[in-house]
Amino acid sequence: MRSLAHPASLRYYSTVDNRAIYLKQMELGPMQNFVYLVGDPVARECVVVDPAWEIDTIVETIAADGMTLKGALVTHTHQDHVGGSLAEWGMPGRIPGVEELLGKVATKVYVHKAEREFLRGFGSDLVKVDNHDTLDVGRLTLTFMHTPGHTPGSQCFLVDGRLISGDTLFIGACGRTDLPGSDPSEMYYSLTQRLAALPDATVLFPGHNYGGESSTIGQEKRENPFMRFSSLGDFLRTMGGGRIITP
Ligand SMILES: [Zn+2]
């Protein structure tokens, strides 16, 4: 977690809007979080990935683009992705997130079953999902990939040859594995077995702007050192050696 003292900023990056997919990448808040809108440009239906920081901006963007929100997808339940109190990180204040979104729009919230307990109070709005589950958004089918390591219930979303990777895989890096609930062994398998098995052409959209807007799985397999470890032992020695990747 970094300082929250900077004023919130909004920078729009790539918008893909053709007949196949509507995909909007928005950098929101002071921690370089990427929030995504993903949907069917014909049915005009979308989901939001990791709604946090500027809920009004998210809701207004969905409306301005003529889309209807069909769900909120959670890559993992850290506060910079879902909102909430920062007390457990020893910081004052609260990040707006899922709670504020549900105060404005009625929608379902999809979280991996391993982190359901971290999103309390949403009752029947919460949907537990698991590896290989799918969600239809208009004509698109989105697949949930369980990729634990950064957190127990970290998950990526695969849709139309694109991967929204949360804090599992960054461009040139991976999520921290030294936090409560992290597991570097799980991260190793998520990176080198699960994500590395995707087609090289899969376009990567990470959860933070730490190294650009997008990449591909093939490029990361070639250039990202965290996908290139040949053994779990080597990976653990590196991750245990004080190498800290920003959250
Ligand atoms: Zn995180």
Cα 107 to ligand 1 centre (Å): 23
Cα 208 to ligand 1 centre (Å): 9
Between CA 143 and CA 20 the distance in angstroms is 16
Q: Helices (H) and strands (E) in the chain — how many of each?
A: 6, 17
Q: What is the pLDDT of residue 128?
A: 96
SS (H, E, C) 37-52: EEEECCCCEEEEECCC
Cα 199 to ligand 1 centre (Å): 25
- List strands edge to edge, sheet with 33-40: 10-17, 22-28, 33-40, 45-49, 68-73, 109-112, 126-129
Cα 17 to ligand 1 centre (Å): 28
Under DSSP, is residue 109 helix (H, G, I), strand (E, B) or coil? strand
pTM of the model: 0.91
Q: What are phi and psi of 246, to 5 degrees?
A: -60, 150
Cα 61 to ligand 1 centre (Å): 24
Between CA 198 and CA 205 the distance in angstroms is 14
Q: What is the pLDDT of residue 121?
A: 77
More confident residue, 74 or 118: 74
Query: Is the four-CA dihedral 79, 212, 47, 55 of positive or negative sign?
Result: positive
Give me the chain's average pLDDT, please.
90
Cα 23 to ligand 1 centre (Å): 22
Work out the percent of the chain whose per-residue pLDDT is above 90: 79
**Tokens at 221, concatenated:** 């397999």
Residue 147 reports pLDDT greater than 60? yes
Tell me: the pLDDT tens digits for 15-39? 777 778 999 999 999 999 999 999 9
Cα 167 to ligand 1 centre (Å): 5
Cα 19 to ligand 1 centre (Å): 32
Cα 46 to ligand 1 centre (Å): 23
Residue 57 reports pLDDT greater than 70? yes
Cα 205 to ligand 1 centre (Å): 15
Cα 247 to ligand 1 centre (Å): 5
Cα 49 to ligand 1 centre (Å): 13
**Tokens at 142, concatenated:** 């989105």
Cα 21 to ligand 1 centre (Å): 27
Cα 80 to ligand 1 centre (Å): 7
The number of beta carbons lying within 10 Å of the beta carbon of residue 124 is: 6
Q: Are 119 and 98 in contact (CB under 8 A)?
A: yes
